[in-house]
Homo-oligomer: A and B are copies of this chain.
């Protein structure tokens, strides 16, 4: 039951119902609202303190910590800068400003997992190169980004080296005659695997978004599959759309 209360408060913090610096209802108010023992309420609040979501400030109670989820823009590759003022403002409100970024990169040659092999259209046993990255802010893991490429396409390129590529791996692929002109993005929402929990140091019960991006050349050949794991307590996925067609499928 404490877990349910914690989830309820967590949701309100993440979606802005309880905004930054807001004072949470008091222990007494929560005890009444949920109809539970005070110890249960305290357990929920302690969990949220441990997650870094709220801070106790005696004597007035608990307050929402200054932490917006980080924006995650799937459109970044095609659209480095936002086009609409709303997106511009959203990025400013949800940026990593003031937090020290860091990333780790390692490169392996692997027989890729099935969900990657199928999207890269490799045969069983065909090898891929994977550049695995963990992104940190203020020393805390935020998300992982694992980019897979067919080994045959990239084996004589910088993509094999475990260092950041200033101009980006997409440009390296283009130089090999493999320019990506479109992508398919899939987002799966689920609980993390034990491996993901470990890699991202996730608290118990933290759902994740798994964003799989398949980059394709003009003739429809997939040349890159990226798997991004985004903890739900740290991110908001955001994108902008233009050109609303009034006579559309989506009947509100």
Question: B-contacting residues of A (Cβ < 8 Å)?
Answer: 4, 7-8, 10-11, 14-17, 69, 74-80, 84-87, 90, 113-115, 118, 131, 145, 147, 164-171, 174, 179-191, 193-194, 205, 207-210, 212, 214-216, 220, 224, 226, 230, 232-233, 235-252
Cα A179 to Cα B167 in complex, Å, equals 40
- Cross-chain contact B7 with A168 (CB below 8 angstroms): no
- Cross-chain contact A115 with B17 (CB below 8 angstroms): yes
Copies of the chain in the assembly: 2
Interface-centre pick from A10, A240, A244 (highest chain B CB count, 10 A): A244
- Cross-chain contact B80 with A170 (CB below 8 angstroms): no
Q: Which listed residue (B75, B248, B251) contacts A166, Cβ 8 A?
A: B251
- Chain B contacts for A212, CB-based, 8 A: 15
- Cross-chain contact B232 with A190 (CB below 8 angstroms): yes
- Cross-chain contact A214 with B252 (CB below 8 angstroms): no
Cα A145 to Cα B251 in complex, Å, equals 10
**In the complex, given contacts A10-B191, A171-B246, A180-B244, what are 17 additional A-B residue pairs having Cβ atoms less than 8 angstroms apart?**
A8-B194, A14-B190, A75-B241, A77-B245, A84-B182, A166-B251, A168-B251, A169-B251, A170-B246, A174-B246, A181-B242, A182-B243, A183-B240, A184-B239, A190-B207, A207-B207, A226-B252
- Cross-chain contact A191 with B7 (CB below 8 angstroms): yes
Known A17-B115, A252-B224: A186·B242 in contact at CB below 8 Å: no
Known A187-B209, A224-B252, A232-B190: A170·B244 in contact at CB below 8 Å: yes
Cα A184 to Cα B113 in complex, Å, equals 34
- Cross-chain contact B194 with A208 (CB below 8 angstroms): no
Q: Which listed residue (B84, B147, B209) contacts A209, Cβ 8 A?
A: B209
